[in-house]
Structure 1
Amino acid sequence: MHNSLLLFISEVVRGLVFSPLLVSYVFGGDPINIDGLFEDWDDVPTSYSDQNGDATTADYSFLKITHDSEFLFIYFKFHNGEFLMQDWNDFHLYIDADNDSMTGNTFHGIGAELEWTFGDRSGYKYSNGQQTELYQNDLSLRIAPTITSSEFEIAISRHSTALTIDGSQSITQGKIVLTENSNNGDMMPDNAGGISFTIFEDEVFPTEPITLGRLNDSDIRVLSYNTLNEGILDGDRQLHFKRIIQALDPDVIALQEHGDWEEIDDVIQSWFPNQQWHASWTYRDLVVLSRFSIINDANMISSERTMAALLDTEDELGKNLLIFNSHLSCCSNNEDRQQQVDEFAGAWREWILNNAGPFEIEAGTPFVHVGDFNYVGFRQQVETIRDGDIEDENQYGNDFLPDWDSTSIIDLFPRHTHRRMGYTWRKDGSSFNPGKLDYIFYSDATIDSGKHFILNTLAMDETALDYYGLEWHDTQEASDHLPVVFDIYTNNDVGIEKDHILPIMPTLYPNYPNPFNSTTTITFYLSKPEIVDLSIVDVMGNTVQKLIHEKRPVGNSLINWDGTNMMGESVTSGIYFSLLKVDGRSFENKMVLLK
């Protein structure tokens, strides 16, 4: 066969065919992870590209379609803006499951057997002249991410009643329309006829199982688990938890929704009688249990929704391990969640820069932040923890890169051990589809990650269940959250050198608080003893106050300014600058005095 003909056939099978009225996409399957990362869509051809600027609110950019043996996958992106797919929108998805415009609900040139309204978290199935209301569990609907974004990936079960038309077919061809039902709302495709696709039953590689064992026997395993209303102490659910936790064999357990540290310590100890377990104090509904001695623990924020525990891992890691455990406000409480992460970021900034924490830690202490963060709203909340991007700087101070090497920390994206999914919460009776509510953040300046995964026994086969002593319904019956596992690779050479934990050159940090109305603290760092000048200047460069002129030691120095000039008089409200001069160099930061 001629090479050009072979190329044409290849492009038809994996590519696009455009006409003025119909967009057609013929494809094989792809192994897609529904986790909100999107890299696995790179090799999937674009099904439809939409014009930029043809809508006033949500402006669609492009759409892709593929599948595996279980799911129909849809990816779409917006030209600009971010949206929340489970709320605050009027996006509608129409699927013609039998490729017949004369059946189903007639819309935009297709006959849709399924209409789904994302913002309402509900939809309709149209079959045999009947309209039946549907909810997320009827479709096995999976959407990522669970937070605001400019792009989304969706999975719908190919075996759902909507796509099989009540079991009368296996979907092989169909059409899709995506629209926003508002004034001048956008639509893909623009012209009637839908985006047409054909499913070929080529082989899609099955999910490669993640075994439950550690990569190295010495790795430290951290388990984060929301146990739903003290589920471990619930007689009807305790056996499920016992099988799960024994199979995972953790070294550290961070629990959410648990109130009694002493009773839970006794239970865990009975499940692992050959090891000595230790429990932190309970803060609100948070507790940390550990095979390592707990040196100290403390509350981190005013709502008691984040705690810290310092573990004695000197022999294993060469340093003690700091665990943060969070259970942030649920659901639509976006304002409360943002306040909680802002407060934590400000507290951690003061701890890491000025050692002004609830207890002493060594510079370069490895840390992991886990828990049920309830991130179902604005992306900003993730960025505050990961990047130190504080929303309310007036209340909680300046932004601050939260790792010891002045970089962001890692937001880990684990997947299920036996399925290409990244959700950590699932409640089939809820209108909300499964989502990622539980997170693992960690310091990659001080920690090298080992194995990480989410355990979902519903996705495991009988052989795997038997091998690990689990039962198929264990995770479903135990809690509406899934257990999330993170292994810390125990190599004392991993991480940053101690000499590079802090800057190697003089550094002037932003003052705190800023703005301020009486006194503010200025922090600077020296890598060697130096003679320094620290002064306050106004916007014209005039010296307002000389704070110090002296030799300062290595490390952080904290200097207060009380808002007075060199005459001891209070200065007026306005913009001022802290000016640090050291070793022939100058550094300055803006500060705002409000009275």
Structure 2
Amino acid sequence: MFESKTINNDKPGLGHFVAGPFLFSLLLGGHPITIDGLFDDWEDVAIAYTDAEGDAVTADFAEIKITYDMEFLFIYFNFYEGEFLMQDWNEFHLYIDADNDPSTGHDFHGIGAELDWVFGERWGYQYVNGQQVELWQNDLTLRIGPTITSTEFEIAISRESDPLTMNSSQVLTEGKIILSEGQDNSDFIPDESGGVYFSIGEDAVPYPQPIPLERLHDDDIRIVSYNTWNDGMINEERQLHFKRILQALDPDVIALQEHWDWNEIDDIIQSWFPEDEWHASWTYRDLVVLSRFPILEDANMISSERTMAALLNTENELGTNLLLFNSHLSCCSSNEDRQQQVDEFSSIWRDWVTEGAGPFDLEYGTPFVHVGDFNYVGYRQQVETIRTGDIEDENEYGEDYLPDWDSTAIVDLFSRHSHKRMGYTWRSDGSSFNPGKLDYIFYSDATMDTGNHYTLNTLAMDTESLNGYGLQWNDTQEASDHLPRVFDISLDDAVGINETQLFPEQVKLFSNYPNPFNPNTHITFYLPHSVFVTVSVVNVMGNTVKNLLHESKPKGNWSVTWDGRNDYGEFVSAGIYFCLLRVNGVKKTKKMVLLK
């Protein structure tokens, strides 16, 4: 988490043409945008302005889109190249002329801006009646996605905020927007003076359809991940809020972060759910797992003690045990520490799967879920290391390893608030940082599928829903600065645990990863039983370039690495090659592209 506590005030397209020095947008209606760091809901929003490529000092703006719903003004923009962090490491300015009048507000690049927001500084100014008033993110109800580095971003600003209503003296109906890199001779959107014009119609953008809190199927297994903010579940002033929340969510498994207590939690959770027997893992640093299912094993996973593992006895429900990882990675600006922690975890998971070198015995193909407060507020690479096994420091932690049992990436699950089109999981209105997605759920889609999933934010729920679930409006607000994430493992016959998907009946050669590559690529294959296997690399003429494997292997997924060298240890030239797998007279090939 960042810091501080929270106070609530949470409460379709545009085309364009150029006329003289101004750029205008044509009103086509609002759009139901979800601020979550995904952008497929922007596809129906017309581009309001396309900037020239190559006219930047550092950040080269590309496109901007503008739309709205009943609560927010939405802005999307992207860059031609490079990744940026919106809450730090930049001097980007957003200027909004909220009354489309150049004679009011701050005179800048042909508009009169009522708002100047500086993203990297996390503050801005409102210009009204000749005065300059300093603003923080909560003054705008500012929402930004994603919270990590990206080439594209989406932003929401409350239509009821003071800069857009000019201190409640107007209703926002039209205005102009400018984006600036903030340096001398830097890039602008638009390049022309006068800003990008937008207008807001009288159409009613529908409110989101609420997500029911219940499971889709009664026997689905529910996991709740929750940072309880400094032992919140044993805090007398906050405990009742947690009780109502967890009883409404009715979890089977609870993964807690920021929970250092090991003495009281068993009795507390048992008293809240007296009809079932609950089990608790050992508390590792500030991590604990609570479960209706017996906990067969638990262990620390990495040297910082910021990730733990628990093996749950779900044989009766899943036909196999369930492995749960629970993480609380280093906070805030500690990017190097977070990358080290995910690198180390990925290397340990790789060795556990390929060599059995884990903290306890694990059956091949065990379904797994990785949850927690990952504090991803910096480089996207940290997310990708967990999701794809792309290790940054290979000198220290070895080669990359695709983490799922079928040699693919695992799923980074994006969940919406149950009653609001938002995706953030942490919020502190008294902080300079705006709300963001810090809490993640990753899972093996080779072995399971999702049922219901969402993030609970009681501040966004209507009175009828709150009463129906036995909740109070401020429960999530008062319990913690994080929101609980809910994930159901579906036990529906049509989805759920899928052994036929994981264990094919035939020999299978998977596509190498990465591809194209330079210099290393990983070749993975599946054997349905113990057998003698040969793996080699051949060129387009069919000549053997490198023999990689020639031995007997037991049933399972196996991986070998080609480093771009031939059998003589010489680097081969760039071009097309083929991986050749031979098993009992069966041959399978996959094309590989080696880059210079």
Please give the TM-score of this superposition, normalised by the length of structure 2.
Answer: 0.86
Structure-2 change in CA distance of 1:55 and 1:274 (3 Å): same
Match in the other structure for 1:397: 398
Whole-Å separation in 1 of the counterparts to 2:150 and 2:156? 17
The reply on whether 1:148 has 2:156 as its aligned counterpart is: no
SS in 2 for 1:340: helix
- Aligned positions of 1:7-406 closer than 5 A: 14-27=14-27, 28-406=29-407
Structure-2 change in CA distance of 1:482 and 1:191 (3 Å): same
Whole-Å separation in 2 of the counterparts to 1:386 and 1:351? 17
Residue 315 of structure 1 deviates from its aligned partner by 1.1
Q: 1:253 is aligned with what amino acid?
A: I
Q: 1:334 is aligned with what amino acid?
A: N
Residue 314 of structure 1 deviates from its aligned partner by 1.0
Whole-Å separation in 2 of the counterparts to 1:546 and 1:201? 66
SS in 1 for 2:264: helix
Q: 1:230 is aligned with what amino acid?
A: D
* Bigger Cα displacement from structure 2, 133-142 vs 522-531: 522-531
Match in the other structure for 1:450: 451
Whole-Å separation in 2 of the counterparts to 1:534 and 1:211? 50
Residue 528 of structure 1 deviates from its aligned partner by 3.9
- Aligned positions of 1:506-525 closer than 5 A: none
Q: Which stretches in structure 2 are left out of the alignment for 5+ residues?
A: 1-11, 513-522, 537-542, 561-568, 573-579, 591-596
8 Å contact kept, 2:447–2:499: no
Q: 1:24 is aligned with what amino acid?
A: F
Whole-Å separation in 2 of the counterparts to 1:324 and 1:438? 13
Residue 365 of structure 1 deviates from its aligned partner by 1.1
Percent identical: 65
Residue 184 of structure 1 deviates from its aligned partner by 3.0
Deviations 1:290-316 (A, max 9, x none): 011111111111111111111111111
Match in the other structure for 1:424: 425
SS in 2 for 1:401: coil
Deviations 1:331-375 (A, max 9, x none): 000000001111111111112222221111222211111100000
Question: Quick one: higher RCO (CA 8 Å, sep 6+), 1 or 2?
Answer: 2
SS in 2 for 1:465: helix
Deviations 1:408-435 (A, max 9, x none): 1111110111110000000011000000
Match in the other structure for 1:566: none
8 Å contact kept, 1:317–1:492: no
8 Å contact kept, 2:100–2:174: yes
Q: 2:169 is aligned with what amino acid?
A: S
8 Å contact kept, 1:58–1:81: yes
Residue 484 of structure 1 deviates from its aligned partner by 0.6
Match in the other structure for 2:8: none
Structure-2 change in CA distance of 1:289 and 1:182 (3 Å): same
Whole-Å separation in 1 of the counterparts to 2:295 and 2:250? 19
Residue 463 of structure 1 deviates from its aligned partner by 1.1
8 Å contact kept, 2:93–2:118: yes
Structure-2 change in CA distance of 1:107 and 1:368 (3 Å): same
8 Å contact kept, 1:508–1:587: no
Q: 2:246 is aligned with what amino acid?
A: I
8 Å contact kept, 1:506–1:582: no
8 Å contact kept, 1:175–1:196: yes
Higher gyration radius (CA) = 1
Residue 183 of structure 1 deviates from its aligned partner by 3.7
Residue 26 of structure 1 deviates from its aligned partner by 3.3
Q: Which stretches in structure 1 are left out of the alignment for 5+ residues?
A: 1-11, 511-521, 536-540, 560-572, 589-595
Structure-2 change in CA distance of 1:65 and 1:167 (3 Å): same
SS in 2 for 1:222: strand
Structure-2 change in CA distance of 1:382 and 1:252 (3 Å): same
Q: 1:16 is aligned with what amino acid?
A: H
8 Å contact kept, 1:78–1:151: yes
Whole-Å separation in 2 of the counterparts to 1:508 and 1:216? 34
Structure-2 change in CA distance of 1:187 and 1:530 (3 Å): same
Structure-2 change in CA distance of 1:543 and 1:420 (3 Å): closer
Match in the other structure for 2:575: none
Whole-Å separation in 2 of the counterparts to 1:177 and 1:273? 58
Q: 2:17 is aligned with what amino acid?
A: V
Residue 526 of structure 1 deviates from its aligned partner by 4.7
Deviations 1:12-68 (A, max 9, x none): 985223223111113221100000111110001111110111113100111000011
Q: 1:363 is aligned with what amino acid?
A: Y
8 Å contact kept, 1:363–1:501: no
SS in 1 for 2:192: coil
Residue 505 of structure 1 deviates from its aligned partner by 3.8
Whole-Å separation in 1 of the counterparts to 2:483 and 2:494? 33
Whole-Å separation in 2 of the counterparts to 1:58 and 1:26? 27
